Structure 1
Amino acid sequence: MILGLFVLASITPELHAHLPLWGSPNPPCLAQDMTVLDLIQLLGPFSELDDDFESGILDPSWQVANPANYTREFVSGRLILTPLGYTQWYQAENSGGLLSKLVEGNVKITARIRARSVNNPSQPVTGGPFQLGGLMLRNPNSAQENYVFVAVGLSGGDLAIETKTTQNSGSSFQASFWGTGDAELRLCRIGQRFFMYARPLGGGTWQFGTPAVPYFDRPDLPWTLMAGPIAYGPTASPDLQAEFEEIRYEPAFNECDCTND
């Protein structure tokens, strides 16, 4: 069975830490067969993992990492994660906020995120230099840190989209200038490749979150991963409150399916 969808071709994932302007066009894709595992996933219960946060309480299906390091509250149908003191997802440091659910295989997770100031929630996060809210896929059984994420907020003191890969507690990250603390973000796994996307709140065309590195190649990451929202600020007094407006979990079969909505 052939789907009229495509996969990414001819991209070299060179890791950079510069701030190119976000919004480079995505390259074309090539057709790809649907596998038996794809068919199994199509029938899978991904939608049961979705959470619109309208209940005003944290559903017990969420696993809460480092609960003492950040607050979790609900305001107007949004989950708000607020780091308390120094927290971080970098190298072997794993003190940041993370709510997760287990997912299997190819998946895309999506959320509308606002990285706002605790002192003035109508404005973007201030201070710095790294204060971020985003989405993570993480190995649940590794003695060392192994994950990928896409996030929005302050990266190097600039409002940016940041993507990060950490393998055996060694991290590489890059960022693209964004100009606001608000974004709709998506993290999409296709086999061993993990694609990161961003677009403005309110919709529009999905673009690579960091065009210089559109995906991470991670054959080491297992079939089953922790997946969910993160928030952290490696400073004594973070100004970040990361607001999440609904999180969706959906199956994905190839790279163009990652942006199919």
Structure 2
Amino acid sequence: MDPTPPRRAAAPLTVAVAVLMAMTATACSGGGGSSGSAAQSASPTAQLTDSQAKSALIGISTLGAQWKAGAGSASAGTQDALLRSKTDKPDCQVLLDRLNSVDLFGAGPTAKSTEAFTEPSRNARLTYQVASYQPDALDKAMDWLKTLPSGCDAFSATDPSGNKVNGQVVATKMPDVGDDRIGLRTTLATTTQGLKATLTLDTAAVRVGSSAVTVANGGLDGAEGSATEQAVQKGVPRLKEALAGKTP
């Protein structure tokens, strides 16, 4: 009788080798496809240059023919005075200061570009900004903005002429765009020489990776929410294209 045992170990070994080869082939083909797709997408930490930020700005065609280029407004003096009001509530004061300086995040950007528009019939102004930031600073700023509807739901302030100002901040609905977003409506109401004046200002902030779009829109004749939404909906895709190295 032949003492040599049957060679059954070869089958498991062959299966193991086949599985290993299949896994290697999958990693090469599947991994190659994934990296190619990722290469076409913007990195979450991609930083804009100033020229890329400028290319991502919106134009008058985005807003409509009623809007004009430039930041001038017949009611700019009263509006700016209200934004220079002082309050004892620290977070509300920071908000007023940032709205006045057109710097909603308060974090030093690595790149930034800003465009301003006016709507003469309503004495409205809209400021649109694209910028990149350090990721931690941007996350902190977004989280802070989200606290304002509760922290500044009602506050008192005093304008530069000594008039009492009643302020309020409420959350507004935002289009579902970007990685994170917040919409706010700030109203500042006062009486000057017997005449009532109320500034209504819509602000929107949308984060895309470590970059963001911010919009401030409104005036003494109210804020047109549709213009803010239009700016965000049309502007965020432009930012994404700029981050991907394309020309919007």
TM class, shorter-chain normalised? under 0.3
- TM-score, scaled relative to structure 2: 0.26
- TM-score, scaled relative to structure 1: 0.25
More helix by share: 2
Q: Which structure is larger by alpha-carbon Rg, 1 or 2? A: 2
